[in-house]
Amino acid sequence: MDKNTLIGLLLMGLVIVGFYWLNKPSEAELAEHQRQLDSIAAAQQTQQRRDIAAGDVDTLSVDELAHLQSVLENMPAGNAVINNEGVVLAMRDGQVSGTVTVGDTTVTWDEVSAHTSANPAVHNLAVQAVQRALDVYAKNGSFAASLTGTEQLVALENDSLKVELSTKGGIIARATLKGYKTWKAPQLVLFDKGDNDYSFTLSNNTQRFETKNFYFEPQKLNDSTVLMNLQLEGGAQWGLKYTLIPGSYMVRMEMVQKGMTSIIPLNINLVDLDWHQKISRHEFGKTFEERNSGIYYKFSGKDGEVKYTKESGNDEKEVQDKLKWVSAKNQFFSTVLITDSIFSSAKMTSNDTQDTPDYENYLKDVNIHTMVPYSSDKPVPASFYFYLGPNRYHMLSSYDKYSPKEDLKLTHLIPLGWKLFRWINTGVIIPVFDWLGKFMTNYGLIILVLTIIIKIVLSPLTYKSYISQAKMRILAPDIAAINEKYPNQEDALKKQQKTMELYRQAGANPMGGCLPMLLQMPILIAMFTFFPSCIELRGQSFLWANDLSAPDKIIQWGTHIPIISSLFGNHVSLFCLLMTVTNILYTWMTTKSQPSSQSMPGMKWMMYLMPLMFLFFFNNYASGLSYYYFISLLITILQTYSCRFFITEDKVRATMAANAAKPKKKSKWAQRLEEAQKMQQQQQRANAKRRR
């Protein structure tokens, strides 16, 4: 080969290499090509399965059989491979045995492993089920041996609480509160098996391990502590240790581990936590209980606020800030998960059960996804408290000791109103209510005495209001005379001046009856939030009311009446009805004594409309609340009639005469009124001159 030929071949090679380099496919083109190949392979596999189902028999490969034997040999003694598609296999005397259930047909292992079958379609489906089971075990790596087992329940209990722990997932499967009952059961189960589940998801660079899929080995360390443990490959261990705190509703939950660095690398610093609960119904008055159910959560830090999902309908919240606790709460009971560290973020959904088969037995279906700090080299990487108990104010307040660095604010699980109203409830109403409970056991009488105490405390304001109303009633003829004397618009300031002078002489104030009532409103609103949240009233009977925390239904019907049923309900509450009648009577008394009631008949009927609106509004509320307002209105009517004996027209007239005889310094308001009147008179004279 001469020199020119060699150069020519070299140049041709460079041209070819350059051509391929310039025309090589991009990464996107390669990915698309691979997708097409995968699609073709999937189609071929589907066709192959169809061909097999038509008559050919599929079999497990040599590698799959070896993998199956390896899995079974590494299983704890006596356990079997159990897949949710009915695969039940075990190693017996060095041989694989068991069954695979496909639909209504059960196939033995000998039939599955055979190369021939009388029913190829069923045989091939059984082989595919085994293949999927092996795939599940491959994905779970070191945890695969814990995928099978038999579910057991292990109980821990004290005087207040009984919890049952399930070996499937290592969770608290059932919680029973002692000393409480529901509207239809002699004991209160906060949540039953299947209604509450939570799962931690650990992950490495290639796998994710969800603890809900594993069967734990229970180890009862003492009467109050159980360890749910997983024995992993290489001697590693991972588990959840539960300790029931004596005499409380608190359960300590600790994540414990050993040798996990061989499974979870140190660069993994978070684990996922998924919690699902169907909030059970416990009360007779479902409508109001449903309104007070949902997800509550507290932001981390001393000043962290307590927030909650929308209480009616469906709602979804996504929080990026750190949280201290999350809770599935209903009207009187809560499940609260409190972390010793933080929840780094959370996504929460709350769905009502309105259109589901669970509507009669459940209030909400809630899901919480969050993350907690984790390190595979720590023996206790995360720890928590579960509060499983009643929303009782003093009890929740006492649990702040479990978080010395910040106020847990668990009492905010009880909706006691905005800041001012909450302060009245926590600072005044609850202490007085608890104090009365030390001397009386009948809560109907406690409410009566509490109402009387509140009325006595407010009596100075009430008295001033009655005095002012009485004076205005007595002055009504004089005010009418002034209106007749100055009927024209141009005499408006003069009429106003004479009216104010009359008020000043009588010592009356047109706003004197309103201001004392406005000052009482915070207490009325505080009581409105207190009674529906007061667990002490739960199950307490009084007169015809079987439960002061629920409506006292004397008449009810099953027929759904559009609009009426949604607003009023399907019953009539007697205390609510009595409150409405008493309110109408009180409205009649007040409108009759007001001078403006004759000149403004439209306003008069509006005042009668309000009690009827309250009938619709309070019919579904706690009977204790309607009873309180009923008693309060009765006492108010008695006070009104009593004041009329002390405040007579002769006394008011005498006061007016005494005030008129005293020299009075004009107030700035009176001075400004006179100046305005003079300016008006000057303007009128100027207008008269121009008209001439």
Complete DSSP assignment for 382-448: EEEEEEEEE--HHHHHHGGGG-TTS---GGGGS---SHHHHHHIIIIIHHHHHHHHTT---HHHHHH
Distance between CA 169 and CA 215 in Å, rounded? 6
Of the candidates 494, 473, 476, the one whose C-alpha atom is nearest the C-alpha of residue 485 is: 494
| Domain range summary for the chain, segments of one domain joined by + | 43-139, 153-415, 443-653, 662-691
Dihedral pair phi/psi, residue 248, rounded to 5°: -145, 180
Two tokens, residue 232: 């992993």
Of the candidates 184, 164, 550, 533, the one whose C-alpha atom is nearest the C-alpha of residue 361 is: 184
Q: Is 33 exposed, middle or buried (0-12, 13-18, 19+ CB in 10 A)?
A: exposed
Distance between CA 399 and CA 327 in Å, rounded? 15
Of the candidates 185, 166, 88, 169, the one whose C-alpha atom is nearest the C-alpha of residue 133 is: 88
Any alpha helices (H) in 23-108, and if so which ranges? 27-54, 62-73
Q: Is 436 exposed, middle or buried (0-12, 13-18, 19+ CB in 10 A)?
A: middle
Residue recorded with tokens 């089971």: 133
pLDDT for 314 equals: 86
Q: How far apart are the first and last CA of the chain?
A: 136
- CA distances to 157, 348, 362, 388 from 279, rounded to whole Å, are 22, 14, 6, 13
Class for the domain spanning 153-415: mainly beta
pLDDT for 471 equals: 72
Distance between CA 303 and CA 340 in Å, rounded? 17
pLDDT for 381 equals: 94
Give the orientation angle of helix 514-533 with respect to helix 623-646, to 10 degrees.
160
pLDDT for 200 equals: 95
- The residues with which 323 forms a beta bridge, in sequence order, are 299, 343
Contact 158, 389 (CB under 8 A): no
Two tokens, residue 502: 């009359």
* Mean pLDDT split into 10-residue runs, the chain, 692 residues: 59 58 54 53 48 61 76 64 71 81 84 80 83 78 80 92 94 94 88 93 86 91 92 87 94 93 88 94 82 90 87 87 93 94 92 82 92 93 94 90 84 88 89 89 91 85 73 74 74 71 68 63 86 88 85 73 59 84 80 54 64 77 87 85 70 67 59 64 66 60
pLDDT for 198 equals: 95
Distance between CA 205 and CA 199 in Å, rounded? 19
pLDDT for 54 equals: 47
